[in-house]
Chains A and B, each alone.
Chain A
Amino acid sequence: MALEKDLSGSVAGVRALFGAAACSCALVDDEGSALTYVAADGEGSREILGVVLPVGRGIAGWAAMSGQPIAVRDVRADPRFARDVAESTHYIPTALLAAPMFDSQGEVLGVLSVLDPAVDESSDWTLAVLGTLASQVAALVEAVRRAPAAAADASRLEALGRRVLDAVEDYER
């Protein structure tokens, strides 16, 4: 499907930006009660694809529920998280970043997660960058849903990457 193909490029780019072990994107179902992992790159990506988790579970679920990004330094301290992930993938991260993805109406349509980023996750910088990326990926999801053929343009992803890198450099200054 066009959506999954485009999102694969996005999560690969986000993973590279953060130097992370993995990055995944989960979308909220029509009922608003479950998250389905539709794109992933890196460790455990094959296993996580297609996994459906209730919105009320896990740190990604909390990001979706609260509308707030979060960074957790050691997710293994939450035994429920470890169990959920262990059931879904062979890779259990230590650190995790999760940011909600909003549609143009401001409703949560998914969650972007980054596992074990190489950058120091203990700063506002990472959440600010991830939040910006999540909004861009959300825009991509909406665009593809509206017009699948027109949105499947790799150059848009490159433009997104350049904009993010510009923003990162600007922030560091």
Chain B
Amino acid sequence: MSVLPAWSAAFAADLTRVRALPLPDAREWAFGGSTGAGVAVAVVDSGVDADHPRVGAVAGSVAIEADPEAPQGWRAVEGPHEDVVGHGTACAGIIRSLAPDAEIHSVRVLGPQLKGRGLLFHAGIRWALEHGMAVANLSLSSKSEAMFAPLHEVADEAYFAGTLLVAAANNQPGPTYPSQYASVVSVAARPGADPWALAYNPRPPVEFGACGIDVDVAWGGGQSIVATGNSFAAPHVAGMAAVLLAKHPGLTPFQVKAVLQAVSDNAGEAGSAS
């Protein structure tokens, strides 16, 4: 019996081998020599501190804010903004460390007001796909039943539009969205310090495990902190996806997912010994 949604347990020392596409030298094919140049990556979060030395330049910023007067209940405010907490900066710094030449766009959906957070989150994902983001990092989630269908719909739209959604799993009982959907790349934290380590979980819905425990991350005010959470695992995979897409432009989200599985540490013939 297990009552805990301890997704990381799937990525413990004895990784189950999974059948993956038989790509010879998959990691070199996927990542070798690429810096993520030119790939647009949205960080849908609390904002990004563009002055943080671990983040570097931000290609664009937009804040999705509640607006009762607007037809959809929100407005998009383009232009520089600050990171209200520090978390988006942490995610951006991780992406930058793997994909130093990626174009990071801050899509701020978290603000000092919890009411309507699901609506703004949804709007942020929509903004990312409508503005041609190749990757969107979602280190946040919703458990709101009312948001299940809207988030599912926009996640599917993103999938078909070619915007890869990389979503952090949540360590709470019950489903969380959008990490639960098959159309996204869902990620949980996995032990280990290697930022490029990746494992595939043969027992989804959480599919990938990446570095997310005791990670030294950028934080607000130009600082850094050491933090643990699935929130920090997701941007590692977002960074890998950016590197992959810079080298192989035009791969669809399902192709990216297949390659990510193929480069996983436990890729191989299912049931094989090595």
Residues on A lying within 8 angstroms of B by beta carbon are 28, 31-33, 54-59, 61-62, 64-75, 77-80, 99-100, 102, 105-108, 121-132, 134-135, 163, 166-167, 170-171
Contact = CB atoms under 8 A, between A and B. Distances in A.
Most buried by B among A33, A65, A71, A73: A65
Residues of B in contact with A, size category? 35 or more
Given A78-B86, A129-B4, A72 B171 contact: no
A73 B215 CA distance: 9
A125 B141 CA distance: 20
A15 B8 CA distance: 24
A70 B231 contact: yes
Nearest to B143: A106
A56 B4 contact: no
A62 B229 contact: no
A68 B230 contact: yes
Most buried by A among B6, B113, B114: B114
A124 B143 contact: no
B221 A73 contact: no
Interface in B82-118: 84-87, 110-117
23 contacts: A32-B114, A62-B46, A64-B114, A66-B87, A66-B141, A68-B139, A73-B225, A73-B226, A73-B227, A77-B226, A78-B86, A78-B219, A102-B172, A107-B144, A123-B8, A124-B8, A124-B189, A126-B228, A132-B172, A163-B3, A166-B3, A167-B4, A170-B4
Nearest to A173: B2
Nearest to A61: B85
A78 B213 contact: no
A121 to B, nearest CB: 7
B114 A132 contact: no
Contacts of A123: 8, 191, 213, 228
A78 B114 contact: no
A77 B170 contact: no
A167 B142 contact: no
A33 to B, nearest CB: 5
A67 B30 CA distance: 32
B263 interface: no
A73 to B, nearest CB: 4
Contact of A135 (B173, B225, B226): B173
A125 B2 CA distance: 13
Contacts of A72: 225-228
